[in-house]
Amino acid sequence: MPFFDPLESTFYGHCVERLLTSKDLAPLLADGIVELGPGTGRPVVEALRRSGSRVPITGYELDADSARIANRATARAELGNYTVVQGDFFAATEEPGARQHGDPADGRKAGVVDLPVGPGRDAAARRARCAIGNPPYLPAIARPVGASQLWGGHDGAHVARRVLSQEMDVVLLMIASISDPVGLVRHARAAGYRIADWSVRPIPFGRYSHQPWVSRRIGELARSGRAFFGPEGYLLAGVTWVRGSALAGAAGAADEPDEPDDVATVLRRILTAAGSATSLDESAGVDRTAGARRRVRIASGLHEVPNRPASRLSGSS
Ligand SMILES: C[S@@+](CC[C@H](N)C(=O)[O-])C[C@H]1O[C@@H](n2cnc3c(N)ncnc32)[C@H](O)[C@@H]1O
């Protein structure tokens, strides 16, 4: 079923807009961007419209219905530089037989390493030096029924790790505080990335996170220090990483790999301050209506931000 969440998808669109308007990163975007999972296509359509960017973007969407809707949205918007292809992002962007880095045991347990490998990178993927996406991040030991395309492996971060293992120069991904954010930031660092920009906002728990397989797994991850949330929800960050060797002049990109990444430290502190609940049951008494959504606040450890639609913390190095 096509995924569109008014808070999450709109926030993703804002993060893409931030990327498209970055002067520092513009040279690395000029050859095109590949997108994992456009969903309805609306976030990127809106980002392109608002930014006026002419950078070519190719989205790969597994779900046939979503791809059809996204194609309609791109045609209606008459943008000309956003194409959505139905298919597996990894099949289109990885060489056949490419080895996965990261945590193979994790992938094997979650069954994710068995994703089909296609005939090789297609033309758009060969040119692009930037990947973006709001990847599936629901953690569960088994593929959750009714939300299989939102499954991020058993810690929720498997798909994001796989994108960060592709050696793109620039990667913008949404990362969730319930899906091993610390491990993911560490993985990006080990892959040679530094954080150039980030934004973060609260997201209330929805019907997918309340599925028993998912909520149980979130509780387990919280008890082992790999998921952070409060009674009303969790935090979602849009993070732009740049590979150290890619652009010496880009913010934060020229440092040696073993130097501390201060921006990552700040982001880690914020994401782990999302809350210290260990079970979604602790949110049982919380009203999750639209009114409650508007009242959600976050304490970042820096300062408290009210949850107006556009409100979010952000920063760059
Ligand atoms: C969390 S949704 C995000 C949708 C949209 N970007 C948004 O923010 O509204 C993740 C999307 O990725 C798609 N997806 C998951 N794995 C994929 C893969 N390997 N290749 C292409 N699309 C994938 C899903 O079908 C789903 O539409």
Mean pLDDT, to the nearest integer, of 23-40? 96
Using a 6 Å cutoff on CB, does residue 36 contact ligand 1? yes
Ligand 1 geometric centre to CA of 72 (Å): 17
The predicted-structure confidence for 148-164, as pLDDT tens digits, reads as follows: 889 999 999 999 999 99
**Residue 294 — pLDDT band, cuts 50, 70, 90?**
very low
Q: Which of the two residues, 43 and 310, has the higher pLDDT score?
A: 43
- The arrangement of secondary structure in 8-316, i.e. its CATH architecture, is 3-Layer(aba) Sandwich (3.40)
Residue 6, both tokens: 């008014």
Model confidence at 206, in pLDDT bands (50, 70, 90)? confident
Residue 217 has pLDDT above 50, yes or no: yes
Convert the pLDDT of each residue in 90-141 to its tens digit. Answer: 999 987 655 444 443 344 333 333 334 445 567 888 889 999 999 999 999 9
Looking at residue 258, what is its pLDDT?
61
- What backbone torsions phi and psi does residue 241 show, to the nearest 5 degrees? -105, 145
- Mean pLDDT in the chain? 81
Which residue CA neighbors atom 13 of ligand 1 most closely?
37
What's the pLDDT band for 276 if we cut at 50, 70, 90? confident
Are the C-beta atoms of 82 and 57 separated by less than 8 Å? yes
- Res 39: pLDDT: 98
Distance 136 CA to ligand 1 centre (A): 6
**Gap from CA of 303 to ligand 1 centroid (Å):** 32
Domain boundaries, the chain: 8-316
Residue that wins the pLDDT comparison between 121 and 223: 223
Question: pLDDT value at position 30?
Answer: 96
Q: pLDDT-based confidence at 314, cuts 50/70/90? A: low
Q: Mutation test of ligand 1: which of 113, 150, 158, 163 has the most ligand atoms closer than 8 Å to its C-beta?
A: 150
- Residue 240 tokens read as 């732009």
Q: Output 269 or 74, whichever has higher pLDDT.
A: 74
For the stretch 54-73, pLDDT in tens is 999 999 999 999 999 999 99
pTM, to two decimals: 0.84
Residue 297 scores a pLDDT above 50 = no
The 10s digit of each residue's pLDDT in 107-118 is 433 333 333 444
pLDDT at 255: 53
Q: Whose CA is nearest to atom 23 of ligand 1?
A: 37
